[in-house]
Amino acid sequence: MFLVPDFKGFDFFPHGTRIDFMRYKSLCFGLSVLAMALALGLFLVKGLNYGVDFKGGSLIEVQSKSGPADLSSVRQKVGGLGLGDVQIQSFGAPSDVLIRVEQQPGGDKAQQDALNKVVAALGDGYVQRRVEVVGPAVSSELRTTGIIAVLASIFAIIMYVWFRFEWQFAVGTVVALAHDVLVTVGLFSLFNLEFDLGIVAALLTILGYSVNDTVVVSDRIRENLRKFKKMDLTELLNLSINETLSRTILTGATTIAVLIALYIFGGEVIRNFTFAMLFGVIIGTYSSIFIAAPVLGYLGIKRDWSGAAVKGAPAAGKA
């Protein structure tokens, strides 16, 4: 008879772990509000480095045939063509160059002429690998639909949490989601990273990940509200977070491990997308613990939906 070894599970976080997260709720919440304000200020003052998807224009990826590309030579050749704002940067391998040309007045024909001028100026020393052209009408529509997609997702999530739990949970969720989106966008503005449709997709994915994490914690809070009817709310929030801590950290860690591999080996094309995802998973895990849950402590929540609101400040004893 074949015997299967009896492997016992390993607890990364032992049962009975009691980390006092709520001890730092005021500090973390204050820093989070400050980060949101700074991110919003960066977005309004500095703006974003919109990609061709949102700004319109042309993007040309070329590769040097003779080894590493000479960026100064490329700038000199393309800069004298009179095409307006032209951005030239290294892309991926040392031999790869990415050239962005702003939208040309005169429609599609003028844009195509600009592309031909760039290719001709570079000569036979470079091979053309990729070309993207987006007109002004399309770029404006993409920008509008991208904003609508993010806002509609947040609204749908709020409605879901509100109907499943209580309005206090919905408020905590929307603050956490707004924090995740604003801080991620602020980071892209700060470092002048390219913001295109791929980043919008990353933001939508971050929203889904963050709300999933928040719902798990919220579900345990609701369960404990019914179970421990006399426990101080702050202590109950700590208990609920600790009980879901293993799931929260391990899920986040496995996701981060995959994203790090993608960031390192996935290539330059998806690097900004992967960076947004990586940062979003980290900040989403943080917000479910230090933003969504503490909001319940500030607002108060009903015990077992009996109608009596219990505030987090006064202690009512333990169950």
Question: What pLDDT sits at residue 316?
Answer: 40
The pLDDT > 70 percentage for the chain reads 86
Residue 139: per-residue pLDDT: 63
Q: How many CB atoms lie within 10 A of CB 244?
A: 19
Indicate the residue type of 49. Answer: N
Cα(56)–Cα(291) distance, integer angstroms? 37
Tell me the average pLDDT across 53-61: 77
Give Cβ neighbours of residue 196 (< 8 Å, ≥ 6 apart): 50, 51, 52, 53, 54, 272
Confidence of residue 7 (pLDDT cuts 50, 70, 90): low
Distance (Å, rounded) from C-alpha 259 to C-alpha 276? 10
The predicted pLDDT at position 71 comes to 81
CB atoms within 10 A of CB 267: 13
Return d(Cα 82, Cα 58) in angstroms, integer. Answer: 15
Which of 73-82, 144-153, 198-207, 306-315 bottoms out in mean pLDDT, i.e. has the lowest? 306-315
Q: Which of 13-27, 111-125, 177-191, 303-317 has the lowest mean pLDDT?
A: 303-317
Give the span between the Cα atoms of 309 and 306, in whole angstroms: 8
213-217, 227-231, 237-241, 275-279: which is most confident: 275-279
The residue ranking higher by pLDDT, 11 or 63, is 63
* % pLDDT > 90, the chain: 16
pLDDT score of 242 more than 50: yes
Strand pairing category for 309-310 and 301-302: antiparallel
Residue 289 to residue 264: CA distance in whole angstroms: 29
Q: Which residues pair with 134 in a beta bridge?
A: 57
pLDDT of 98 over the 60 cut: yes
Q: Which CATH architecture has domain 21-49+139-310?
A: Up-down Bundle (1.20)
Q: Which has more confidence, 226 or 16? A: 226
What is the CATH T-level fold of the domain 57-134, as seen in this structure?
Answer: Alpha-Beta Plaits (3.30.70)
312 has pLDDT over 70: no
Q: What pLDDT was estimated at residue 222? A: 85
| H helix runs in the chain, sequence order | 25-45, 52-55, 71-79, 107-122, 136-164, 167-190, 197-227, 233-243, 245-265, 271-287, 293-299
Residue 315 in this model has a pLDDT that exceeds 50: no
Q: What is the pLDDT of residues 158-196, one digit of tens each?
A: 788 788 777 888 888 889 988 999 999 999 999 988 888
Where residue 250 falls among pLDDT bands split at 50, 70, 90? confident
Q: Is a pLDDT exceeding 90 seen at residue 18?
A: no
79: pLDDT confidence band, cut at 50, 70 and 90?
confident
Give me the DSSP letters along 163-183: HHS-HHHHHHHHHHHHHHHHH
Whole-Å CA distances, 41 to 63, 248, 275, 276: 38, 31, 22, 19
- Average pLDDT of the segment spanning 209-222: 86
pLDDT for the residue 9:
57
Specify the pLDDT at position 67.
81
Question: Do residues 243 and 220 lie in contact, with contact meaning Cβ atoms separated by under 8 Å?
Answer: yes
Domain extents for the chain?
Answer: 21-49+139-310, 57-134
Lowest model confidence (mean pLDDT) among 59-68, 87-96, 129-138: 129-138
Q: Say if residue 296 is exposed, middle or buried (CB neighbours under 10 Å; 0-12, 13-18, 19+).
A: buried
Contact in structure between 176 and 32 (CB atoms under 8 Å): no
Mean pLDDT for the stretch of residues 135-155: 76
Q: Considering the chain, what is the average pLDDT of its residues?
A: 81
What's the pLDDT score for residue 279?
A: 94
Report helix, strand or coil for 191: coil
List 97's β-bridge partners, or say none.
Answer: 62, 90
